Structure 1
Amino acid sequence: MFDWENIRYFLAIARIGTLSGAARSLKVDHATVSRRLSALESEIAARLVERQSRSCKLTPIGERVFEVAQQMEEGAYAVERLLEASRSPLSGKVALSAPPVLVANFLVKHVADFRRANPGVQLSVTCEARQVSLSRREADVLVRLARPEEPTSVVRKLGRVSFGLYASKDYPHLHNPSAWEFIAYDAGFVGVAQQEWLMSVAGKRPIACEIGEINGHLVAARAGAGIAGLPDFLAEADPQLQRVAYEGEPFSRDIWMAVHQDLRSAPQIRAVMDFLVKIVAENPAFAENG
């Protein structure tokens, strides 16, 4: 019988397409991934992956093993979810994944309150803008600014984040919109709603800089680098920033929460979900008419 851990490494290689990318996703070094793959191929006496200079390509038998291995993985995670859901009330670790802007500027302010109310639950919060899989237990609870689409998830809308244009109160072109320069996202954000909104407002006016994380936009705007499109709850709290008017429709993004359907009734998961509903509902900045 082959080692399940080796299968797990093979799945990462098959999904990502490179040994180095698989190593990053698994948080191990390149040599470990290579060794695990070689061990699996030795165990089943078949070549699963063609190792090319910059990528990995599955062999025909590798493609078939990949299909079966994904089913095995889903079965393993289903067992984990079953055990998680049957745990004693309000105990265990819950992994919460949320966008960096909400983690750093909102969620962490409430962690102490959650701990006091639920001393048996360890909340593990990860800052992530990328999509993660609830089925693969990459998180137990998701908070996102785009509706999660995983078919096995249960999704609920929590509220709304409104955005506006902001600049330093000392920005030299504060009252001259024709001279504005904008702080935008990098190429990795092509197609993301707030980037498209900002670029539509900017029009033909220049981009001063590109920054891949919204807290960086805040700091750059405060330093006078240009006009930034920022969540109102974040920018309004900064005394160095000034909101500026622009031509165009108001922009906002909905806040969504998702959990795997097998875990939604687990007491510790329920505690985290109820906590998120409560703190968002209590913050007027996230109201539907905000």
Structure 2
Amino acid sequence: MKDIDWDDLRHFLFTARLGTASGAAQELGTSVSTVTRRITTLEKALGSQLFERSRRGYEPTEAGLRLLAYADRMEQDLRAAEDEIRTGDAEPKGVLRVACTESVAYDVLIPRLTAFHERYPRLRLELRASPATLSLGRGEADCAIRLSRPKEGDFVASRIGRMAFAYYTRAVAANQRGSVTPIVGWDRRLRTVASAQLLHPAVDSEEAPFTIDTGMGHLAAARHGAGPCLIACITGDRTDGLVRWPDTQVVGRYPVWFVVRTGLARLRRVRAFRAFVVDAFREEQAALEGADPSVSESR
């Protein structure tokens, strides 16, 4: 058997994660022909077919899945070694891809980006705010701040706080008598998202007249009178013109987890970012947990 070329393995790794040779080529800054050639070379070296090729893309075979697990760990170890050797005792630097919910991005992290840059000027954050759960295992992000703890996989997860949700509507609508049934639901693909599972049964069924696939979309719907909509309290309480429905009731509070692949947890940039996030969550604890805004304002 021929020795495996790490560059061939990298091309395999990105193709397996992204599902297409074109996606891998774009991520690696090369051509599709180079990607396919390197995968073919790797398959010949190993004597095994690594992908089932179709019009839909590249699907790893059983051999491909086994190799993917080893290749992923190799990449993590190499990144950790590079971080230790190149930086020594220097400040954290490099790129860190962070997946998080929209409310965490807009109301916790983005207001502190300037402070983060001043503290770590050589560390670049790539925030990927989405209600969908990006896959750390497929390399879509390096770490994540999410409302659910991974049930499987090689991850380190630590609880950093809680996030509360409540129904919000326009102040004018809240003063109207009678009950109001939410008319805005989540896109079917996102109904596994923790916050989406809290929705009123009428919204979570096929009867909802409207579906929106982002938290900011639900916020806009509430502001324009299509509420009540389920929104993170830290976002809803800070949005002019919105009030909780009914009264100040919190529908639910969820643990928030900082999740990172085990092999990346040792990286200086990961440790620095986690410490920064923990401090931010501590500062925003009351707002994140849905403290009554009227009580906060009266103090």
- Measured after TM superposition, the shift of residue 12 of structure 1 is 4.6
Q: 1:141 aligns with which of 140, 143, 160?
A: 143
Alpha carbons 2:164, 2:288 under 8 Å: kept = yes
Cα 1:176–1:144 change in 2 (3 A) is: same
Structure 2 match to 1:238: 239
Gaps of 5+ in 1: none
C-alpha distance after superposition, 1:93-114 (max 9, x if no partner): 2413222221123211001112
Structure 2 match to 1:217: 218
CA distance in 1, matches of 2:170, 2:282: 30
Alpha carbons 2:8, 2:41 under 8 Å: kept = no
Alpha carbons 1:94, 1:121 under 8 Å: kept = yes
CA distance in 1, matches of 2:240, 2:102: 22
Matching residue's letter, 1:216:
G
Alpha carbons 1:218, 1:235 under 8 Å: kept = yes
Structure 2 match to 1:78: 77
Structure 2 match to 1:131: 134
Counterpart secondary structure, 1:143: strand
Counterpart secondary structure, 1:89: coil
Counterpart secondary structure, 1:207: coil
Alpha carbons 1:85, 1:262 under 8 Å: kept = no
Aligned pairs (5 A) from 1:194-273: 194-200=195-201, 207-245=208-246, 250-273=251-274
- Measured after TM superposition, the shift of residue 49 of structure 1 is 4.1
Alpha carbons 1:12, 1:25 under 8 Å: kept = yes
C-alpha distance after superposition, 1:61-117 (max 9, x if no partner): x54255235413421321212222453332312413222221123211001112222
TM-score in terms of structure 1 length: 0.78
CA distance in 2, matches of 1:239, 1:68: 52
TM-score in terms of structure 2 length: 0.76
C-alpha distance after superposition, 1:195-253 (max 9, x if no partner): 2211337588952310000001101111112320011110111221121118x983122
Aligned pairs (5 A) from 1:3-14: 4-14=6-16
Alpha carbons 1:164, 1:231 under 8 Å: kept = yes
Counterpart secondary structure, 2:111: helix
Structure 1 match to 2:281: 280
Cα 1:12–1:93 change in 2 (3 A) is: closer
Cα 1:65–1:270 change in 2 (3 A) is: closer
- Measured after TM superposition, the shift of residue 152 of structure 1 is 3.5
Cα 1:201–1:66 change in 2 (3 A) is: closer
